[in-house]
Amino acid sequence: MKRYLILFILLFVSACSDEEVSLTVNQQENENTKIVEAADDASPESELESRTEDVEENNEENVQEEAIEKEEKEDDVTLFPYEGEVEHIFFHPLMAYPELSFAGPQAQGYNDWFITVDEFNRTLEELYKRDFILVHLGDVYEKVDGKIQKKTLQLPEGKKPVVISVDDVNYYEYMRQEGNVYKLILDDEGRVATYSLNPKGEEVISYENEIIPILDTFVEENPDFSHEGAKGVLALTGYEGVLGYPTHNLDSKDYDKEKKKAIAVVERLKETGWTFASHSYSHMDMGKASLESVKRDTEQWKKEVEIITGPTPLYIYPFGSRVKHGGEQFQYLAEQGYEVIAAVGPTSYTEVVHNVYTGDRRRIDGMALIDQPHLLTDLLDPDYVLDRENRPEEYLK
């Protein structure tokens, strides 16, 4: 009898370990992805919305536990001063559904400026293998007697610091239609997940198709990849809301509800090592903008976005287009409290100019992987990272 009982248990466990297990007629889920056909009276999105307050309470408990665990781990690590350059790399939201990205009117843009899920996963593997470690952008400089200066990082021996930033984590309407996720949400336990519709029109909640939850999981599995809990910087505009929430519709009857949901996600992101930067309100080309337009844009960002993210000292130029150091637009941004202003360049360059920590970020995208792989070899193996399976052959030539 005992032998048959053991056999039954083994068969049961084996059956439950299949990649996809059918739970109901309308629901399928595995460890990291849930696909649900929307019912007439409910959806995964609406179910999650109704639990926002419970999630916020769980978040407080999770933060306390995570802080204790982090302190215990850090006590066992010997730190050394790091005097070299701090690498800063950036991405755009991932192509969650590349079959949509490469079939739409923005296909060339997606090939040039975005990467696939597989390419991001491989990038993390490469960075980790090469002893890079995530650091907070706010930790690479300090303010002493009102003066901004570079700060010497204290890191585990052999580790090289890298900052990750992600531009346009707003999920504009065109992104939703062409292969990106729709929004960031919180699950029952306060974990950040994504919500989207797949090419079949099914609602999907996932932890595997966007940078934020993927990096959260990677750091959880490889805690030595993050220094003091650092994850990355999320650069936001505001003209189509933030994080997938229509917080730009100030006159909407649902504004307060959408704002509350966005704030809940922002707070959880901050608690788990993410920070925020202004990417301008309108994604304006700063190199061509007048002082008055920069002022209007910044005021709009503070009015609609800062009330959700809280104040930030970080400003990331849209398009990588910069203004003249010390010019009136530059000085205005500094006066508004921006202590770090970053552009785009082929190398990670940093310099304190006019009491602002300035620098260039290196892009990780299709153009870099396909056309300029030699610029990335100190960070990763471009040939390994490039996703030839999901990128159409016509774009790889």
pLDDT in tens, 75-105: 578 999 999 999 999 999 999 999 999 999 9
Q: What is the mean pLDDT of residues 343-363?
A: 95
Question: Above 70 in pLDDT, residue 276?
Answer: yes
pTM over 0.75: yes
For the chain, domain boundaries: 18-114+131-365
Q: What is the mean pLDDT of residues 170-189?
A: 98
pLDDT at 255: 98
Question: Above 70 in pLDDT, residue 218?
Answer: yes
Q: How far apart are the first and last CA of the chain?
A: 64
Confidence of residue 320 (pLDDT cuts 50, 70, 90): confident
From 361, 360, 293, select the one nearest 329 (Cα to Cα).
293
Average pLDDT of the chain? 88
Q: What angle do CA 275, 30, 37 make, to 5 degrees?
A: 90
Q: What is the mean pLDDT of residues 125-141?
A: 98
pLDDT in tens, 144-157: 999 999 999 999 99
Beta-strand (E) ranges in 212-371?
232-236, 274-278, 314-316, 340-344, 350-353, 356-363
Parallel, antiparallel or unpaired: strands 350-353 and 356-363:
antiparallel
pLDDT in tens, 235-262: 999 999 999 999 999 999 999 999 999 9
Please state, in angstroms and rounded to a whole number, the distance separating the CA atoms of residues 7 and 213.
37
For the chain, percent of residues with pLDDT exceeding 90: 78
pLDDT in tens, 184-199: 999 999 999 999 999 9
DSSP letter at 37? P
pLDDT at 253: 97
Superfamily of domain 18-114+131-365: Glycoside hydrolase/deacetylase (3.20.20.370)
Q: Using an 8 Å Cβ cutoff, are 209 and 194 in contact?
A: yes
pLDDT at 60: 56
Q: How does 202-224 read in b/e, with b if 16+ C-beta sit within 10 Å? A: ebbbbbbbbbbbbbbebbeeeee
Question: Above 80 in pLDDT, residue 381?
Answer: yes
pLDDT in tens, 35-54: 654 333 344 555 555 555 55
